[in-house]
Amino acid sequence: MNEELYFGVSIETWGSGPNAVDDERLGALGWALGELGAAGPAVGSGGLAGGPGATFGIYVPEEPAHPKVWTAVTQRAVAIFEDACTKAGIAHDGIAHVEILTEEYFDREVEQEPETYLGVSEVARELGVSRQRVAELRRSEAFPAPIADIAAGPVWKGSSLTRFIEGWERRPGRPRKRPHPAPAGSGVDRAALRWRGR
């Protein structure tokens, strides 16, 4: 007896937005997917392509790793989805996106922490410094560049700051002030200023 392999499936269709399919028909879509063998279906409408879509699992007989397996899984997933749409009375403007994941990859994706985004105040809190210190650190080449500068200020990905924090050698106290060179031709003798203790 062959064992079955589990694949995670995500299908999205073209459509006219989140309100194109009512809740009753979306519920019927989820029910129909389950009846047709989809495992744990979750349905919605109005994603990036604007039409109804679903995420679910399917089981297929275990076969050796072969490119044809992916084609068979994709064809089966799309057929289940299309049959479920027909049963639920849902029309769409065509398949926009199909994603098939192995069980191991699907599990990793589900367990992955979502990306966080931080402004200056959140960065300061993460680093345990003031907002002004964040502005100083931002001038450092080692500090990650923000992904965007919006009206409220810069925004960083949490993951890039995590890498910075792991490698950051924090020194207690105030940062040293760098001496500024005297303007050319000003007649100021820097050595004389140091001798007087200034």
Q: Do 9 and 106 meet the contact criterion of CB atoms below 8 Å apart?
A: no
Res 182: pLDDT: 58
- Residues 77 and 100 grouped into a single domain: yes
Claim to verify: residue 107 and residue 164 sit in the same structural domain: no
Cβ neighbours of residue 169 under 8 Å, at least 6 residues apart? Answer: none
Gap between the Cα atoms of 50 and 43, Å rounded = 13
What residues make up the domain containing 123? 117-170
Q: Are residues 31 and 123 in the same domain?
A: no
Q: Give me the pLDDT at residue 110, please.
A: 79
Same domain as 150, residue 100? no
Decide if 183 is inside a domain. Answer: no
Residues of the chain where predicted confidence (pLDDT) is lower than 70: 1-2, 64-65, 172-198
pLDDT for the residue numbered 1: 52
Pair 81, 11: CB distance under 8 Å? yes
- In Å, how far are 32, 190, 193 from 198, measured between CA atoms? 82, 10, 5
Give the pLDDT of residue 2: 64
The predicted pLDDT at position 54 comes to 97
pLDDT of residue 175: 62
Give the per-residue pLDDT at 180. Answer: 61
**How many structural domains compose the chain?**
2
The reply to whether 77 falls in a domain is yes
Q: Do 144 and 51 lie in a common domain? A: no
Q: What is the pLDDT of residue 174?
A: 67
3-state secondary structure 144-174: CCCCEEECCEEEEEHHHHHHHHHHCCCCCCC
